[in-house]
């Protein structure tokens, strides 16, 4: 009985062992079947399927990677998936992977990845997790779908929504969006001014009817290109629409109508200048299918300085102005505000006339004597610019210096003034063989910041043969102190060159005495407004005395300008002011009269020995 029981137990045990082996066999077969199914699915899937570990290392990449991104399995194994992702998208991919590991849930994600040919493809990705025996996330299965064509189609649709199909320029919708942005910005900060321009091509309907739509379309395309070329970089709006980059400030509204947004407008003439460029470009002949076509444009301008309640009101004002321009015969520009229109036209006309004055050498130099206040001996002259206008006669620089400075023309004018003054010095010496005198010439802020100032000045001195010590350069206190580091650097170079340096209009600006003592200058010139107020204002008198004392403490000379009365001269002498100029001694003189003045000084024996 015992033997039978043992035998039976052994049979049961054998059966159990066989069953376990059979079960293990079944499990291996099932796993093999799953692996085969996974391989079949991944090997034939249109989407890219990747298996990565928790550190982002590739463990498996489906063949779709080769088809979609161009990389072979070997190439993929040699490169990091992270390195292939666009730098701007890497952070969000890392965040998505971290979230998937921590929550076990993957979210849909879009990012860019580099193709083998260097281009970028857009992928839509979903990650799922694989956990180990401990329940920890061990791997990530990532399914990527190439949606590049879909994104391109969406971007093209968005582009078409905001752009004109014929010219590629922004359309009215995008124009109004940008206009609203600039309008709201100017409401917050009134100093941020801008302008709206409405451009209408004159008689375009007639051109279209006589030459056909194909020619008309070609002309419109070319006009759009020319308008874009006329707009400055500073006229570009920075408002991205739909996430795309900002585009040209030029828009086509439809037909022959265009709009232009000019940002950072500081003066009405800025808009007038762009309008002038536009009209010049539009009037140039168009060559369409070997046919020459001519056109002209009317331009209406509205400025944000007026009190508008809505952004659209600016566009309305510009359209009213362009209708007025067309009503007056076309081919012209009108500013909606009459006062601004007059001012802008005057400034633009002055700018044009200044350019003509440079070309035709209409500028003249007059010389005002600078005298020693101790004995009324002649020290030298200040060279003063005058404009011999063909219609208005001799014009003071006060009427045109601001425009010349703003437009940069003053650099050319200033260079001419220095050259003319040096040549005149040489001419005086050669004619009368008298002792040379000093001539002071004013520098503008534009000249101070001009990188070619020193080299141009050196060339003038070499060409004329004038001793640098007989040339003095004057710069106003406010300009010099606005950028003391630049001024100090330029003054040091001028000092090395050998020219004298005078800080002009001193007492009117806001000097920092700590900076003043480091500037390599020779003299302080007291502003004429302080000199004129000495007889009526005790404080002005005290300030003049203080400036003279300051100059002497710094081993500088003090020069007073605008001396008109003997009483002013007496006060300045009491304060021990060194030199002065003004109508009491002489008005500014033309070169011949200045030479006669020197002759008279020589006859009297009062020609100063210049220290």
More confident residue, 9 or 414: 414
Interhelix angle for 311-327 vs 172-188, to 10°? 120
pLDDT value of position 33: 53
Q: In what order do the strands lie in the sheet with 297-303?
A: 250-254, 257-263, 194-201, 297-303, 333-335
229-261 as b/e, with b when 16 or more CB fall inside 10 Å? ebbeeebbbebebeeeeebbbbbbbeebbbbbb
Please report which confidence band the pLDDT of residue 187 belongs to, taking 50, 70 and 90 as the band edges. Answer: confident
Parallel, antiparallel or unpaired: strands 194-201 and 297-303: antiparallel
**Encoding tokens for residue 389?**
């206008």
More confident residue, 93 or 492: 492
How far the first Cα of the chain sits from its last, in Å, is: 145
In the three-class reduction of DSSP (H, G, I as helix; E, B as strand; rest coil), residue 9 is classed as: helix
Sequential DSSP letters for 211-276: H-HHHHHHHHHHHHHHHHHHS-GGG-----STTPPP--SEEEEETTEEEEEEES--SHHHHHHHHH
Q: What are the domain boundaries of the chain? A: 1-39, 45-146, 154-352, 361-604
Residue 101, judged by CB atoms within 10 A of its CB (0-12, 13-18, 19+), counts as middle
pLDDT value of position 241: 38
Please report which confidence band the pLDDT of residue 501 belongs to, taking 50, 70 and 90 as the band edges. Answer: very high
Distance (Å, rounded) from C-alpha 41 to C-alpha 555? 93
CB of 354 closer than 8 Å to CB of 403: yes
Task: Name the DSSP class of 575.
Answer: T
Which helix (H) or strand (E) is 558 found in, with range? strand 557-561
Distance (Å, rounded) from C-alpha 317 to C-alpha 308? 10
SS3 percent helix, strand, coil of the chain, rounded to 5, is: 50, 20, 25
Question: What's the length of the chain?
Answer: 611
The CATH number of the structural domain formed by 361-604 is 3.20.20.450
Q: Which CATH superfamily is domain 45-146 in?
A: PAS domain (3.30.450.20)
Model confidence pLDDT, tens digit, residues 110-137: 889 888 888 888 888 887 777 777 777 7
- Tell me the CA distances in angstroms from 169 to 189, 259, 407, one per residue in order: 29, 10, 30
Task: Name the DSSP class of 202.
Answer: T
Number of Cβ atoms within 10 Å of the Cβ of 392: 10
Task: Name the DSSP class of 147.
Answer: -
**Does the predicted model carry a pTM greater than 0.75?**
no
pLDDT average, residue stretch 362-381:
94
Residue 432: is its pLDDT beyond 80?
no
pLDDT average, residue stretch 216-242:
73
Least confident range of 154-168, 324-338, 437-451, 469-483:
154-168
Distance (Å, rounded) from C-alpha 98 to C-alpha 90? 12
Please report which confidence band the pLDDT of residue 240 belongs to, taking 50, 70 and 90 as the band edges. Answer: very low
CB of 369 closer than 8 Å to CB of 581: yes
Q: Which ranges of 104-171 does DSSP label H, i.e. alpha helix?
A: 148-162
Distance (Å, rounded) from C-alpha 370 to C-alpha 578? 10
pLDDT average, residue stretch 533-554:
94
CB of 22 closer than 8 Å to CB of 35: no
Residue with tokens 């979210």: 107
In the three-class reduction of DSSP (H, G, I as helix; E, B as strand; rest coil), residue 42 is classed as: helix
pLDDT average, residue stretch 140-157:
81
Percentage, residues of the chain above pLDDT 70: 85
CATH class (in words) of the domain with range 154-352: alpha beta
Which of 74, 243, 52, 272 has its CA nearest to residue 154? 243
* CB-facing half-sphere around the CA of 406: CA atoms within 13 A: 14
Please report which confidence band the pLDDT of residue 511 belongs to, taking 50, 70 and 90 as the band edges. Answer: low
Which of 177, 179, 219, 222 has its CA nearest to residue 198? 179
Parallel, antiparallel or unpaired: strands 58-61 and 48-53: antiparallel
Model confidence pLDDT, tens digit, residues 353-365: 999 999 999 999 9
Distance (Å, rounded) from C-alpha 385 to C-alpha 425? 16
More confident residue, 333 or 434: 333
Distance (Å, rounded) from C-alpha 211 to C-alpha 541? 78
Least confident range of 128-142, 523-537, 566-580:
128-142
CB of 456 closer than 8 Å to CB of 415: yes
pLDDT value of position 131: 78
pLDDT value of position 482: 78
Task: Name the DSSP class of 522.
Answer: S
Number of Cβ atoms within 10 Å of the Cβ of 432: 12
Model confidence pLDDT, tens digit, residues 31-72: 455 555 555 555 556 688 877 777 767 778 777 777 888 887
pLDDT value of position 244: 33
Distance (Å, rounded) from C-alpha 110 to C-alpha 93? 9
Residue 320: is its pLDDT beyond 50?
yes
pLDDT value of position 243: 35
Task: Give the per-residue SS3 of 289-338.
Answer: CCEEECCCEEEEEEECCCCCCCHHHHHHHHHHHHHHHHHCCCCCEEECCH
- Tell me the CA distances in angstroms from 10 to 17, 402, 434, one per residue in order: 10, 116, 142
Greatest mean pLDDT range, 40-49, 229-238, 475-484, 602-611: 475-484
Hey, what long-range contacts does 566-575 have (CB within 8 A, 24 or more apart)?
567/535, 568/531, 568/532, 568/534, 568/535, 569/373, 571/534, 571/541, 571/544, 572/373, 572/531, 572/544, 572/548, 573/373, 573/374, 575/544, 575/545, 575/548, 575/549
Sequential DSSP letters for 46-111: SSEEEEEETT--EEEE-THHHHHH---HHHHHHS-HHHHB-GGGHHHHHHHHHHHHHHS----EEE
């Amino acid at each position: 009985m015992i033997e039978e029981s043992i035998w039976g137990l052994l049979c049961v045990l054998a059966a159990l062992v066989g069953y376990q082996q059979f079960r293990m066999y079944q499990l291996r077969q099932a796993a093999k079947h799953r692996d085969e199914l996974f391989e079949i699915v991944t090997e034939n899937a249109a989407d890219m399927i990747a298996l990565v570990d928790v550190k982002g290392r590739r463990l498996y990449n489906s063949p779709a990677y080769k088809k979609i991104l161009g990389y072979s399995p070997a190439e993929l194994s040699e490169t990091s998936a992270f390195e292939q992702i666009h730098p701007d998208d890497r952070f969000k991919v890392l965040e998505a992977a971290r979230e998937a590991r921590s929550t076990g849930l993957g979210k849909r994600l879009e990012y860019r990845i580099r193709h083998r040919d260097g281009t970028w493809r857009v992928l839509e990705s979903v990650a799922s997790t694989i956990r180990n025996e401990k329940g920890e996330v061990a791997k990530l299965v990532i399914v990527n779908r190439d949606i590049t064509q879909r994104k391109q189609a969406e971007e093209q649709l968005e582009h078409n929504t905001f752009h004109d199909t014929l010219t590629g320029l922004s359309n009215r919708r995008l124009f109004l969006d940008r206009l609203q942005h600039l309008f709201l910005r100017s409401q917050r900060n009134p100093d941020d001014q801008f302008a709206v321009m409405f451009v209408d091509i004159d008689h375009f309907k007639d051109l279209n009817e006589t030459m056909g739509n194909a020619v008309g379309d070609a002309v419109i395309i070319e006009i759009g290109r020319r308008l874009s070329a006329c707009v400055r970089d500073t006229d570009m709006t920075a408002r991205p629409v739909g996430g795309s980059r900002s585009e040209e400030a030029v828009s086509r509204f439809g037909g022959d109508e265009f709009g232009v947004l000019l940002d950072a407008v500081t003066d009405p003439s800025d808009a007038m200048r762009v309008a002038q460029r536009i009209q010049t470009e539009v009037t140039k002949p168009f060559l369409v299918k070997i046919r020459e076509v001519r056109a002209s444009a009317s331009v209406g301008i509205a400025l944000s300085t007026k009190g508008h309640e809505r952004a659209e009101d600016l566009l309305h004002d510009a359209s009213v102005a362009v209708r007025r321009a067309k009503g007056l015969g076309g081919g012209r520009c009108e500013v909606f505000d009459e006062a601004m229109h007059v001012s802008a036209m005057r400034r633009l006309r002055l700018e044009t006339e200044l350019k003509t004055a440079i070309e035709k050498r209409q500028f003249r130099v007059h010389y005002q004597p600078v005298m020693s206040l101790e004995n009324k001996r002649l020290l030298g002259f200040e060279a003063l610019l005058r404009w011999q206008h063909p219609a208005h006669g001799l014009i003071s620089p006060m009427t045109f210096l601001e425009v010349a400075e703003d437009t940069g023309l003053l650099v050319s004018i200033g260079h001419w003034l220095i050259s003319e003054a040096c040549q005149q010095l040489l001419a005086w010496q050669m004619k009368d063989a008298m002792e040379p005198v000093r001539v002071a010439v004013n520098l503008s802020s534009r000249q101070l910041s001009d990188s070619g100032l020193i080299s141009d000045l050196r060339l003038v001195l070499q060409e004329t043969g004038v001793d640098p010590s007989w040339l003095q350069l004057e710069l106003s206190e406010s300009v010099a102190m606005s950028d003391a580091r630049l001024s100090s650097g330029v003054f040091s170079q001028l000092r090395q060159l050998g020219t004298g340096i005078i800080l002009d209009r001193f007492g009117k600006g806001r000097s920092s005495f700590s900076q003043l003592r480091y500037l390599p200058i020779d003299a302080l010139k007291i502003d004429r407004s302080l000199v004129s107020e000495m007889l009526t204002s005790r404080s002005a008198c005290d300030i003049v005395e203080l400036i003279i004392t300051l100059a002497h403490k710094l081993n500088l000379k003090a020069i007073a300008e605008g001396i008109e009365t003997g009483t002013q001269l007496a006060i300045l002498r009491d304060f021990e002011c060194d030199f002065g100029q003004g109508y009491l001694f002489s008005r500014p003189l033309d070169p011949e009269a200045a030479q006669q003045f020197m002759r008279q000084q020589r006859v009297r024996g009062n020609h100063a020995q210049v220290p």
